[in-house]
Amino acid sequence: MLRDITLGQYFPGRTIIHLLDPRTKLILTVLYIVVLFMADSITGYGLMLFVIACCIYISKISLKVILRGLKPLLVVIILTAILNLFYTPGREIVRIWILKITVEGVRQALFMVLRIVMLIAGTFMLTYTTAPIALTDGMESLMNPLKKIKVPVHELSMMMSIALRFIPTLIEETDKIMSAQKARGADFDSGNLVEKAKAMLPLLVPLFISAFRRADELAVAMECRCYHGGEGRTRMKQLRMQQRDYIALMFGAGLLLIMIGIRMLHI
Amino acid sequence: MDPIIQTENLTHIYSQGTPFESTAIKEVNFSAYPGEFIGIIGHTGSGKSTFIQHLNGLLKPSSGKVLFNGRDIWENKETTRQVRFKVGVVFQYPEYQLFEETIYKDIAFGPKNMKLSESEIDERVREAVDFVEVPQAWLEKSPFDLSGGQKRRVAIAGVIAMRPEVLILDEPTAGLDPRGRDSIIGNIKNYQKATNSAVLLVTHSMEEIARSVNRLVVFNHGTIAMSGTPSEVFSNVDELEQIGLSVPEVTKVMMRLKELGMDIDSSVYTIQQAKRALIDYVAGRR
Ligand SMILES: Nc1ncnc2c1ncn2[C@@H]1O[C@H](COP(=O)(O)OP(=O)(O)O)[C@@H](O)[C@H]1O
Ligand SMILES: [Mg+2]
């Protein structure tokens, strides 16, 4: 059912990748994406493939899980492949009616698909190995300098933490209400668009009512515990960079340098 | 007599094929007959809710079968849909699924989905509110103006209005005061008597239903651990306590008296029965 959605889900573990500081992982993910977009040769893509394969191996996340996460984007990937395959000018190898496949087209299609897949796999590495709360903490800490220009960093991250915290609850609630209405013969799957939209009403009304009730209860509970925003607030779990974080960041910097080298030498 | 609803080796595994895979119920064989009032007990997480959601086809078995009147409910799409109406399920905290502007419309939701005529729907809505003791005068009120207990009655009426042949309720009395609890169980019993339907009532409190049911089914770790009349089940005190379920206090008292050497009938679970047993004992001694 709804719960089986894996996009953005966290898989607990105790591997070195799980243990890295969320800030390190955020920086490395951004770095990885930048380097990935710099790759423009077989060597470059090969290097990135090797890097992501190593990460997946170390994190012990099964390949099956990652592939399942890619499923919702299958259409985009196939579309990219087809467009690049047929619309890249260059040396022709086959011709079907007015469509021609070129050597450059094959190369381009392969690279683009690889780029999308590795991009997604890379971000999955982040969300699969980092608890959502750790992730928002990391973001808050990285964005801290923005407080100087009056960006409400703490409030934003608190909102995000709460939203993340309630996603599973809301999914569970949706599941329950859906079952209850189905038990009274509600049909959410058939009919045209208008009928489908109408059929959602028995689901949406109770869902909104309960979301508002929860928000209200949470606000009261937070006030009762004297929550008053980020000012002067300390943390129980402080983020601390460890030796492994510095080593990981050094690996990241190394990767960037190698990629620059590959580009400059045109290999 | 043939069972109205039956399961054969029913197994359900949640999130099969993911790291979160978990077996909620395994190899459950169960049957219920028309006119039975069955209590299903078990501690939280023992698989009761998972089990009942199979009986009206909301969950599909990972393996095994569910039969309604001897026919597999997953035979084809139409059968599955019809079973939704014949086997009514009232979920836990049903008051959270109310959505219509008026109580009348909310109760009519089920019958409407059955494609009944207006007059038939009207008859059923009125009959249903009578069963749950909600005044007819309230029908045009908004369900959101009611108290928690009243909302729950309306929600139960919404299922009763489909006139299910099997009525299943998942912890219908959770969070109610004792009087509201007894009254709702009384209402359900009236429905069962009037329609000769089978009723399955899920709970984790023994005291609550021991008096009303003909049969108790005890769930533990996704399997049926015990099944029988209340006195049969309550005679296994040790086993029940191991499972983490409590026996009614009066039963415990009577058991203890028996242990102390009094020759009394200890398979009782209500104050009335205990009183009779004690009177019998005293009379026997004289
Ligand atoms: N939608 C679900 N997804 C995954 N696991 C579930 C789901 N619903 C229940 N479970 C698990 O199945 C087991 C049985 O739960 P449930 O049928 O709700 O028990 P009960 O109603 O007796 O408390 C529990 O271990 C629970 O965590
Ligand atoms: Mg339950």
Render pLDDT for B162-180 as a digit per residue (tens, 0 to 9).
Answer: 999 999 999 998 888 888 8
Order of strands across the sheet that contains B223-228: B87-90, B166-170, B198-203, B37-41, B215-220, B223-228
Q: How many domains does chain A have?
A: 2
Q: Do A20 and A59 belong together in one domain?
A: yes
Which pLDDT value is given to residue A99? 77
Please tell me the distance from the alpha carbon of residue B250 to that of residue B240, in angstroms, as a whole number: 15
Q: Do A25 and A117 belong together in one domain?
A: yes
Q: Do A38 and A117 belong together in one domain?
A: yes
Which pLDDT value is given to residue A8? 57
The gap between the terminal CA atoms of chain A, to the nearest Å, is 48
Which pLDDT value is given to residue A220? 94
Q: Do A72 and A157 belong together in one domain?
A: no
Give the Å distance between the CA of B130 and the centre of ligand 1.
Answer: 34
B96, B116, B121, B162: which to substitute to probe chain A, counting the most A Cβ within 10 Å? B96
**Given the CA of residue A175, which atom of ligand 1 is nearest to it?**
1
Q: Do A107 and A7 belong together in one domain?
A: yes
- DSSP string of A35-80, one letter each residue: HHHH--SHHHHHHHHHHHHHHHHHHT--HHHHHHHHGGGHHHHHHH
ipTM associated with this complex: 0.87
B13, B18, B50, B146: which to substitute to probe chain A, counting the most A Cβ within 10 Å? B18
Give the Å distance between the CA of A10 and the centre of ligand 1.
Answer: 20
Q: Do A115 and A244 belong together in one domain?
A: yes
What is residue B99's three-state secondary structure?
coil
Q: Which residues contact B50 (CB under 8 A, 6 or more apart)?
A: B12, B14, B24, B25, B59, B222
Pocket, ligand 1, Cβ cutoff 6 A:
A 3; B 14-15, 22, 24, 42, 44-50
* Residues of the domain holding A102: 1-130+239-267
Q: Do A245 and A117 belong together in one domain?
A: yes
Mean pLDDT of B36-63: 93
Which pLDDT value is given to residue A63? 87
Q: Do A76 and A61 belong together in one domain?
A: yes
Which residue among A4, A11, A182 places its CB closest to the CB of B58? A182
Q: Do A118 and A14 belong together in one domain?
A: yes
The residues that bridge with B23 in the sheet, in sequence order, are: B13
Which pLDDT value is given to residue A6? 45
Q: Do A112 and A244 belong together in one domain?
A: yes
The H-assigned helical ranges of B87-218 are: 103-113, 118-131, 148-160, 178-195, 206-210
From first to last of the 267 residues of chain A, give the pLDDT tens digit. 455 444 457 888 899 999 999 999 999 999 999 999 999 899 999 999 999 999 999 999 888 888 888 888 889 899 989 888 888 887 777 777 777 788 888 888 999 999 999 999 999 899 899 988 888 889 889 988 988 898 888 888 888 888 888 888 888 899 999 999 999 988 888 778 888 888 899 999 999 999 999 999 999 999 999 888 877 788 887 888 889 999 999 999 999 999 999 999 887
pLDDT tens, B194-239?
999 999 999 877 777 788 899 999 999 999 999 999 888 888 888 8
Nearest alpha carbon to residue B168 among B97, B86, B99: B86
pLDDT tens, B76-85?
988 999 999 9
Q: Do A81 and A173 belong together in one domain?
A: no
pLDDT tens, B75-125?
998 899 999 999 999 999 998 889 999 999 999 999 999 999 999 999 999
Q: Do A147 and A257 belong together in one domain?
A: no
